[in-house]
Amino acid sequence: FFFGNDQGLLAVQLSVEMTVLPAEELEFEKRNALYKDELAARLDVLSGFINTVKPKAEAASQPTKPAPRRTSVGAGGTVTNFGVDYLYEMFERKDLDKFRAVGGLTGLASSKYLDTNLRKGIDASSVPDRREKFGDNCLPEAEMMTFWEHIMDALGDTMMLILCAAAVISLVLGLTVPDPHTGKIEYSTGWIEGAAILVSVTVVVFVTAINNYTKAQKFAELSAETSKRKVNVIRDGIKQQIDSTEIVVGDVLFVSSGDLLPADAILIDGVECKCDESTVTGEADIVDKDAEFDPFLIAGTSLMQGAGRAMVTGCGVNSTCGKQLALIRGSAEQETPLQKKLSVLADDIGYMGGAAAALTFIVLSIKELYMVMYGTNHLHLKPFLDFLIVAVTIVVVAIPEGLPLAVTIALAYSMREMMADNCLVRVMAACETMGGADAICSDKTGTLTTNTMTVVQAWVAEKRVVVPGSGIPVPNTGRGEGLLDGLNPFVVDQFCEACALNSTAEEKVTESGRTWTGNKTEIGILKFIKEKVGQDPMALQRSFPAESLRQFPFNPDKKRMTTVARKGNKFVSYVKGAPDLLLLQCEEYMSTSGKRMPLTKDKREYLKAVITDMALLGNRCILVGTADLPVVSMPAEDPEGSNFCVLSILGIQDPIREEVPGAVHKCQNAGITVRMVTGDNKQTACSIAEKAGIFQKEVGLAMEGIEFRQMAEEQPERLASLLPRLQVLARSSPQDKYILVEMLKKAGNTVAVTGDGTNDAPALKLADVGFAMYTGTEIAKTASDVVLLDDNFVSVVKACMWGRNVNDNIKKFIQFQVTVNIVGVALTFFGAAFSDTNTAPLTPVQLLWLNLIMDTLAALALATEQPSEKLLDREPSSRDSSLITKRMWINIGGHAVFQLILMLWLMSEGAANWFNVAPHSIVHRTVVFNVFIIVQIWNEFNARKLHGEFNVFSGMERSTGHLRVTVVMVLFQWCAVQYFGDFFGTRALNVPQWLACIGLGALCLPYGAALNLATGSEESRPVAAAPSRQSSGKFVTEGRAMTQRIRVAKAFGEVDSKKFS
C-alpha cells in the first residue's frame, strides 16, 4: 500500500506469510526461497521499506537444512570495507555470498570503492584517479632479454668457446714460444693470429646478438599491436568507443556476442547471455549468465551469445585471469614447422662438417708427425694447435647457423610487408603455411562481396516493388517518394515498425555528418525505410521506451533475430531472418488492406517462388514477420511458436567485389580450390559463386548444410566421391564448416578458412591458416592466424603469394648456403691434405669472415626478395615435401664441383704464374681468398632461381635490397683485402689483379646458364582440378571416420551447434 503497486504488495505478502505459516516447514522453504529471491532483486527500489522487511525476512528464512547455492542477490550488504583482493576471490570462486555481503550490484556500484552510476557510467574526470587507485587494463610486459644477455647467449655457443680458448692459447704461444721455422719469438707478429680470431669471434657474436635482439623487439611490437581492440563504454551518460587498455574499474561496459571480455565485470542486465569459460575452468560447457544467479563475467572468457551491460570490477593484473595471461605472454616463442625442418637440416650438415673437421685434423696431424719422423720438421705444439683451430673453424663454417637467421628475416620481413597488403599476421607460422595452401573455404559477405547491403526489391503485403536504378527486371509498381504508396497506412506502419524495432543499427550525428553504425544488413534495411519508404526509423525506435522492448540477438541455429515490444496491454513479437526457415513457422500473411489472411498452400508456394526469383538474381532474402504473443509479461527468452504473419520479403543486394573474379581465377591457376561456405539459400549462393568464378555448373557441385550433414552420417562413401567437386555449401551452420575443414585436412589438404563470427572460431582454429575479418568478433580474431584488415578475398590470395615467396626465399638461401658449406669444407680438407707446407688454403680468420658475410649478409639479400604473381603459376608444395628439391640438388652439386675445381686450380703454380705472383706466397693466398669470396657473391644471383630458369637477373627490379647488400659485401671484401692485411693474412692487390679476380668469379654465371640448359627447367604448372584416385580414397576414409564422430556426438546428446563445434 505504501508504494501503491505490486512491489509494495509483494513486500507485505512476504512479511505476512513469513509470520503466519511457520508450521508448514517444507512448503514454507519453497515459497520463502521464491519470495526472497524476488524481494532481494527489488530491494534497491524498496529503499524506504527495506529496513522493516529485511530483518523479518532474514529471521524467518533461517533454514533447517543447507540452503541451495543458486540464490539470487540483493542490496543492503553487510561488508562495506573491501578491496581488490576481496573482489578477486569473489570472481575466482564465483562466490555469491561475498557478492551479497557487499550489497550485490547496487551495493557495489554505490560503494565508495566503485562509485558508479549504472545508467550514466562513471565521470570521465575520475578516470586518472581510478587508474592510479586500481591500475590500468594492461598486463605487465614480458621481461625481454637485454642486449647483454643476447651477447652472452651467443657467446655461450660451444664452438665459439672452443675458438676463444684456442685463440687465447695461440696468443700465449705466439708471444712466449719461438717460431718453429725461425727459432725466434715473433713479438711483432706472433699475436696477430690469436687476436684476429678473437676479434672475428667478437664480431660474429655481436652480429648474432643484434639480429636476435632486433627480432625480439619486432615480435614484441607485433604482439602489443595485435592485443589491442576497441570496446564500448558509457561515461558521463554518453556511449563512446575506447581502447580496451583504457578501461578502468567502475566503467559500464557494453558486451555483445563474439566479444572477448577485456576485464572482470558484473552483469547489470542482458539478454540470453552465454559465456565460454573454458579458458578459465577447462570445462567446454557454455555457461548461462544473468544478473541474479551468475552475474560474473570473467576477463579472458568469451561471450558466445547475447548482449548486455556490465560494470567493471577488476582489470589488468587484478583481474581473475591476469596472472595466467601474464604467464602466457611471457612464454617462449615456438618454432614454426619450417624452422623445425631447417633445424634438422642444419644438424645434419653440422654432423657432416664435424666429421670433415675431425678427418682434417687427423690427416694434418699424421702428415706433421710424418715430417717430424723424417726430419723435415721439428716436433712443436704450435702446428697441432693450428690444426685444431682449422678443424674447429671448419665446424663453425659447416654449421649453417644462417638458416634459422634466414627464416627469421624472411618471416619478419614478410609479416611487415603483408601489413601493406592488409594482412595482419598474428601467428608467424601462417606466413609459411599459406605457401602450401591448396584449399580455401571462404565466407561470402564482406569477403567476396563489398558488404554494402542495399535493398533492391521487396514483397510487402502482396505488393512487389523494385528500387529504381537497381537493374532488376521486375515491373516497379511503386510511385513517388515512397515506394509503398498505395498500401494501407497501417500496413506501412507495421512494416516500418517491425524493421526499425528489430534492429541494432543506428544513425549517429558526428562532426563529419550523419553516419550509420551496426550490422550491414540492418543498416541497408533501415536506409530503405528512411530513403525509399519515407519514414524515420530512429524516430520509431525513440517512440518506444527502452523498458518496453526486449531484443533477442540473431540466433545462428534459428537463423533469426527477434524483438518483443509492449504495446499497451499486449506483447508483439517481430522477427526477421532466413525465409526458408521462417516461412515454415508462418500461418498468416498481411494483405494489402491490412488484414491477416491464412497462408494457404498456394500462397505459400507463391511466396517460395518470390524468394526463388530474388535469390536467382543473387539477392540475399530476408523475411520480416510479426506475431501477437499470448503472454501477460515480458518473456525472458526468445518466444517459440509457428503462428507468425508474413509482413515482407526483402531482396538485398551485396555486389561482388570487382577484383574477386580475377583473384579466384589466380587461385585456380595456382592449383588452389576455392569453396564458398555461406548461410544464404542455395539459389542465391550459386548465383553469387558463379559471378565470382567459384561455381561452374558443368563440373561443380552445390549442397545445402542439411543435405551435407545427412550425407556425412548416412552415406559417407558417396559424400567422399562428391566432396572434391563441392564448390558451394549453402545454408551452412558452423558445424558444417568445421566438418568440411576437418575432412579436407584429413584428406591431406592444406586448408585456409575465412570467418568473422563467433561460431566460425572452431573452424578458424582447426584450419591450417585461419583468416578473420577485421570487422569480425574478437573471438574470431583470437582464433585466427591472420586478420584481414580490408575483409577482402584478394588479401587471402596475396597471403598465398607471400607464403610461397617465404618458402622460395628460404630455399634460395639453402641452395646458396649448402653450396658454400660444401665448397668451404672440401677446399679446406683437400687443400690442407695435399699441401706441401701442410697448411690450409684459407686461414681460420678468413673462414670466419666467409662465415660471417655469407651467413648474415647473404640471408639478408636472399630472404627479402619481393614476391611476383608468377609464384601463382605453379602447384602448391605439399606439407611433406623436401626442403631441397631434385632441381636444387643439381644446382648445388653442379656449382660446388665448378667452384672446387676453380679453387684447386687457383692454388696451383700455373694460376700463380697467370697472376704473375710467387707460388704459395701471401699474395697468391690473397688471390685464392679473394676469388673464393667473389665467386660466392656472384653465385648469389644464381641462387635466386630454383627451377632452372636461364635468366638469373630477371625480377631484379623487385630485389633492390639484394643489390644494396651485394654492394655492401663487395665493399667489405675490398676493405678486408686492401686495409686489414695483417688481420686477415692478406696483401693489397692491384687493379688488374682485382679485375682478374672479379672476372674469374663471374665465370659461375655462364656456367650456371649452361647447367640450366643442359639439365632443363622444371617450372611446374598446376594440374587439372579433377581429384586423383588417392585423394578420393582419403576422402572416403575420412567420410567413414566422420560418420562415427557424428554418431558418438549424437549418442551423448551433443546436437547443439556450439557444443558440437
Helix count and strand count (H, E) for the chain: 40, 26
How far is the C-alpha of 739 from the C-alpha of 189, rounded, in Å? 73
Instruction: Give CB contacts under 8 A, 24+ apart, made by 880-887.
Output: 881/436, 883/341, 883/342, 883/345, 883/811, 883/814, 884/345, 884/811, 884/814, 884/815, 884/818, 885/811, 885/946, 886/1018, 887/946, 887/947, 887/948, 887/1015, 887/1018
Side chain identity at residue 881, one-letter code = S
DSSP state of 531: I
How far is the C-alpha of 719 from the C-alpha of 279, rounded, in Å? 35
Q: Are 895 and 939 in contact (CB under 8 A)?
A: yes
At 171, phi and psi to the nearest 5? Answer: -65, -45
Side-chain-facing half-sphere of 676: CA atoms under 13 Å? 35
How far is the C-alpha of 343 from the C-alpha of 335, rounded, in Å? 10
Cell of 15: 512479511
Cell 532483486 sits on residue: 41
How far is the C-alpha of 312 from the C-alpha of 307, rounded, in Å? 16
At 302, phi and psi to the nearest 5? Answer: -120, 135
Beta bridge partners of residue 705, listed in sequence order: none
Beta strands at 673-677 and 726-730: parallel, antiparallel or unpaired:
parallel
Q: Are 186 and 174 in contact (CB under 8 A)?
A: yes
How far is the C-alpha of 88 from the C-alpha of 72, rounded, in Å? 20
Alpha-carbon distances of 126 from 115, 132, 248, rounded to whole Å: 10, 10, 10
At 448, phi and psi to the nearest 5? Answer: -90, -25
Side-chain-facing half-sphere of 94: CA atoms under 13 Å? 20
Task: Count Cβ atoms below 10 Å from residue 345 Cβ, excluding itself.
Answer: 18
How far is the C-alpha of 783 from the C-alpha of 260, rounded, in Å? 11
How far is the C-alpha of 94 from the C-alpha of 294, rounded, in Å? 8
Instruction: Give CB contacts under 8 A, 24+ apart, made by 951-959.
Output: 952/1005, 952/1008, 952/1009, 955/865, 955/868, 958/865, 958/866, 958/867, 958/868, 959/865, 959/866
Cell of 909: 703454380
Q: Are 753 and 761 in contact (CB under 8 A)?
A: no
E-only strand ranges, 350-453? 423-425, 439-442
At 515, phi and psi to the nearest 5? Answer: -135, 150
Vertex 559: Cα angle to 556 and 565 (nearest 5): 105
938-976 as b/e, with b when 16 or more CB fall inside 10 Å?
bbbbbbbbbbbeeebeebeeebebbeebbeebeeebeeb
Q: Are 456 and 661 in contact (CB under 8 A)?
A: no
Ramachandran class of 534: left when φ > 0, alpha when ψ lies in -120 to 50, beta otherwise: left
Which 3-state string (H, E, C) describes 232-243? EEEECCEEEEEE
Catalytic residues: 443
Cell of 542: 525513440
